Amino acid sequence: MGKYILALDQGTTSSRAILFDRDQNIAGVEQKEFVQIYPREGWVEHDPMEIYSSQYAVMMELLTRKDVSPKDIAAIGITNQRETTIVWDKKTGRPIYNAIVWQCRRTSDIVDALVKDGLGDHIKNTTGLVADAYFSGTKIKWILDHVEGSRERARKGELLFGTVDTWLVWKFTNGAVHATDYTNASRTMLYDIRKLGWDDKLLKALDIPREMLPEVYPSGRVFGTANIQGEEIPIAGIAGDQQAALFGQCCFEKGEAKNTYGTGCFLLMNTGDIPYESENGLLTTIAASLDTRVQYVLEGSVFVGGAVIQWLRDEMRFITESADSEYYANKVPDTGGVYLVPAFTGLGAPYWDMYARGCIMGLTRGTKRYHIIRAAEESIAYQSLDLVRAMEKDTGTQLTELKVDGGASRDAFLMQFQADIMGGEIKRPVVRETTALGAACLAGIATGFWKDKDEVRAKWRCDVAFAPKMEKARQEELLEGWHKAVGRSRGWAN
């Protein structure tokens, strides 16, 4: 048995490799950003070969920098950006088109056609999702529609589809394994989350050949082996990033919830053995599991969370580093009445408006960049609160505590504002890399590195708890302004 679990965290803007020891301490991290491709307004793509090469590079750099032999690695866990869609040639291993990223809105017309054909309810009842361009199914159809001859090749078994986890496993096993796990399959808008199988009706509606789809398994199991410098290391855990974070936050019981502040924000609550059908715009999806007895989660998605800070940095040039946003937000006591709705690629839950677009409202002659930066920070908390309230309505349970993680959770201003506007306690763990930790825990339990979930839970530690300080009247005043601004952004591009 090795000394470490190696987690490969393939995200939307970067690939990362993280080593965890037996006490879940981080023994090393390497990260590499990769190119974001924007062919047209609302379109987002990645180069699949760069996804793989960057992930392989950070893995090898981590082992080299830390002087860790592949013999010291007990298992590999993979977590990934979900819904991002890759189709590749089974023989050559070359993608036939760029990866279409989860943020991409190009398939909105395909979604509209599905709804017009009366499939909206079937999608919700079968997959637990709402009909939206966010998910993988319509992206597969778009590629097959636009790459000449690809659909016929797919029917012959010459082409394979995979989300990023499937692509990485296929590459790391030299094409020996074409598989995914329940969590990623449940985000394709093609998978029956109750029967645990691909849905023929949706495959037919989107004209997607079953031959190109991967096998689907529980998240914690040995999927295959990766040969790293002559050592065969088991790939023993796979989970989509948000379900991995839920697992890493030890939300194993019904009613436990976490929010990940990454490129987007994702609030998930464990709902136990029964899949809730949301009446408030949330999604029903599958939690990371160690066997075929699945648990379900309610999930709310914010498309643009931390990405709004990247926008301030890269496009607006308001800040030099993302971390500067916290400093500038604290330079003013409030936003001066300014609200920023970062609906750059539409709005997710609970609105599900593909045609919403970003707006800044409440500008006056006295507005400074500090106010806009603070409004951008607050927008992340407002959008997350919309998810909390929707979840409370669906479950009838008030969330008084929320575990948080992700890059933006380091921002004390944001975390305090989230506690204030929510009126509940925010708990940030010592190990904030919970997405990678979740994948590591799945792989570790599957290979005996850790005994079970109880041992994993015993090692979870809280770093800081943020308690609410804002008066109720102020909460309500701010929320009224936020929802007024959201109303202005909706339907803009329709």
Q: Which residue shows structure tokens 């999608």?
A: 123
**CA–CA dist 95, 90 (Å, integer):** 9
Nearest CA to 112 among 85, 137, 131? 131
Find out whether 134 is annotated in a ligand binding site. yes
Find out whether 13 is annotated in a ligand binding site. yes
Find out whether 28 is annotated in a ligand binding site. no
Find out whether 306 is annotated in a ligand binding site. yes
Find out whether 12 is annotated in a ligand binding site. yes
Find out whether 94 is annotated in a ligand binding site. no
Give a three-class secondary structure readout of the chain: CCCEEEEEEECCCEEEEEEECCCCCEEEEEEEECCCECCCCCCCEECHHHHHHHHHHHHHHHHHHCCCCHHHEEEEEEEECCCCEEEEECCCCCECCCEECCCCCCCHHHHHHHHHCCCHHHHHHHHCCCCCCCCHHHHHHHHHHHCCCHHHHHHCCCEEEECHHHHHHHHHCCCCCCEEEHHHHCCCCCEECCCCEECHHHHHHHCCCHHHCCEEECCEEEEEEEEECCEEEEEEEEEEHHHHHHHHCCCCCCCCEEEEECCCEEEEEEEECCCCCCCCCCEEEECCCCCCCCCEEEEEEECCCCHHHHHHHHCCCCCCCCCHHHHHHCCCCCCCCCEEECCECEECCCCCECCCCCEEECCCCCCCHHHHHHHHHHHHHHHHHHHHHHHHHHHCCCCCEEEEECHHHHCHHHHHHHHHHHCCEEEEECCCCHHHHHHHHHHHHHCCCCCCHHHHHHCCCEEEEECCCCCHHHHHHHHHHHHHHHHHHCCCCC
Find out whether 310 is annotated in a ligand binding site. yes
Find out whether 14 is annotated in a ligand binding site. yes
Find out whether 16 is annotated in a ligand binding site. yes
**CA–CA dist 112, 352 (Å, integer):** 13
Provide CB contacts within 8 A for 483, sequence distance 6+: none
Find out whether 407 is annotated in a ligand binding site. yes
Binding-site positions for ADP read: 12, 16, 263, 306, 407
Binding-site positions for sn-glycerol 3-phosphate read: 12, 82-83, 134, 241
Binding-site positions read: 12-14, 16, 82-83, 134, 241-242, 263, 306, 310, 407
Binding-site positions for ATP read: 12-14, 263, 306, 310, 407
Binding-site positions for glycerol read: 82-83, 134, 241-242
